[in-house]
Amino acid sequence: MTRSPLERQHLMQANLRVVEAEKRIAAQRALIARLENEGRDSEGSRKLLASMLDGLESMKAHRRQILEQLANGAP
């Protein structure tokens, strides 16, 4: 497998991970809303959401790196 197809495969995987993370984040936000509507503590859920958002940003940065490698044809 040449470098370019390998990088494209990595890009597809990175895109999938970003989409999956965004779905989990949406579910976490819905959980927080439900907890708050029920008058329950959401502090732990909010901390988890912050961690999930940090992870998503890392995933997006990795995806940008792959895109740059593809654009530059870098090995």
List the chain pLDDT tens, one digit each, 75 residues.
456 788 899 999 999 999 999 999 999 999 999 999 999 999 999 999 999 999 999 999 999 999 998 888 755
pLDDT at 16: 98
- How far apart CA 14 and CA 28 sit, in angstroms, is 21
- What are φ and ψ of residue 73, in 5° steps? 65, 25
Does residue 54 contact residue 6 with C-beta atoms inside 8 Å? Answer: no
Q: Residue for token digits 């503590």?
A: 41
Closest Cα partner for 46 from 33, 59, 62, 60? 33
pLDDT at 51: 98
Does residue 28 contact residue 45 with C-beta atoms inside 8 Å? Answer: yes
pTM of the model: 0.87
